[in-house]
Structure 1
């Protein structure tokens, strides 16, 4: 029997994310701001990146939207909390204060910071990544999303996406996500919660 996801399970995930996009777009419009901030959290493989990319392609406001994935900030496989702290300090807080934020991409190959990127406070912003919704970051997001998905499905999708690069680190990363869920209760901080099969 194949371990690859079935077409029907892929369709179910796609349908769930399409519904989520529709609801998030409605929430963005309801904010009635030119530069809203959308925060997307969920455990690895839940569909955060797919949701964020769909939102960018269907962004409901005029002009462009900025997207930052925390995968570009986590400083290595033990860096979930530090990546979120960097996002708060270098991206979310400056954006909220009307200041340009500057962050450095983490180069996973060499294990050190790489080039710098700027975030324009006048433009809307989507930030997505595991661990993102905390009491400290939630107040900086206008629309806050939590994606809830079963562990077996998430693991299958994440390893299909990242393969042998991620496989040896799955349990290590999952423990950090579990600490975040237990400590921060991100589902309670979300303005929108979506199940993903």
Structure 2
């Protein structure tokens, strides 16, 4: 799916700049999809970049960072500038480097839970909501963090539970799936998505905005 989506985005792009938002719950496969799309863009000769909202939010706020994303990343990119952003958490914690997008980039993928809002949708050319089985997303997310070796499973599980406690009301209040141009099934349990666990997407569009 990633190959066909990337080709569809690249075909009309010309020499302009495109912003693609990839949203979904934790563990929905957002970073995997973004990497696949960026890889296809690279093979097509289009310089692309992926910005993870986790980097913008790092030691700052789980969901209170949209002004940073818009003002310091998306808007400079669309203005034709390079991006060099040191989010507040990076400064406070002494993290080196910055969130960077080179001036020659033509296709920017922003991936992460909360990436798709009214404010960001107005600036985007295409947006994706990754839906799926919430239990499976949780299992995959915990397994991923444990495999990365950052913390023991008990600590990761506690973090995941805390995350979902904030994630659920945030998403229910914003309903990003209603803003999406495309809804994709990112994860499914053994019997497919569980009833009542997959957000309704009746208002989601199935094609790019005109």
TM category (shorter chain) comes to 0.7 to 0.9
Cα 1:114/1:183, change in 2 over 3 Å:
farther
In the alignment, which residue of structure 1 is the partner of 2:129? 146
In the alignment, which residue of structure 2 is the partner of 1:58? 40
Q: TM-score, normalised by structure 2?
A: 0.73
Counterpart CA distance in 1 for 2:132 and 2:168 is 13
In the alignment, which residue of structure 2 is the partner of 1:187? 177
Task: Tell me which of the two structures has the higher relative contact order, counting C-alpha pairs closer than 8 angstroms and 6 or more residues apart.
Answer: 1
Return the structure number with greater helix share.
1
Partner SS, residue 97 of structure 2: strand
Q: How many residues align?
A: 175
Kept in 2: contact 1:27–1:143 (CA 8 A): no
In the alignment, which residue of structure 1 is the partner of 2:158? 168
- Aligned counterparts, 1:94-173, within 5 A: 94-104=76-86, 111=93, 113-123=95-105, 124-163=107-146, 164=153, 166-173=156-163
For structure 1, which segment, 150-159 or 93-102, has the greater mean C-alpha deviation from structure 2 after superposition? 93-102
Cα 1:32/1:51, change in 2 over 3 Å:
same
Cα 1:27/1:184, change in 2 over 3 Å:
farther
In the alignment, which residue of structure 2 is the partner of 1:15? none
In the alignment, which residue of structure 2 is the partner of 1:45? 27
Give the superposition deviation at 1:139. 1.2
Kept in 1: contact 2:47–2:104 (CA 8 A): no
Q: Which runs of 5+ in 2 are unaligned?
A: 147-152, 189-210
Q: State which of 18, 24, 43 in structure 1 corresponds to 2:5.
A: 24
Counterpart CA distance in 2 for 1:181 and 1:150 is 15
Q: Which runs of 5+ in 1 are unaligned?
A: 1-18
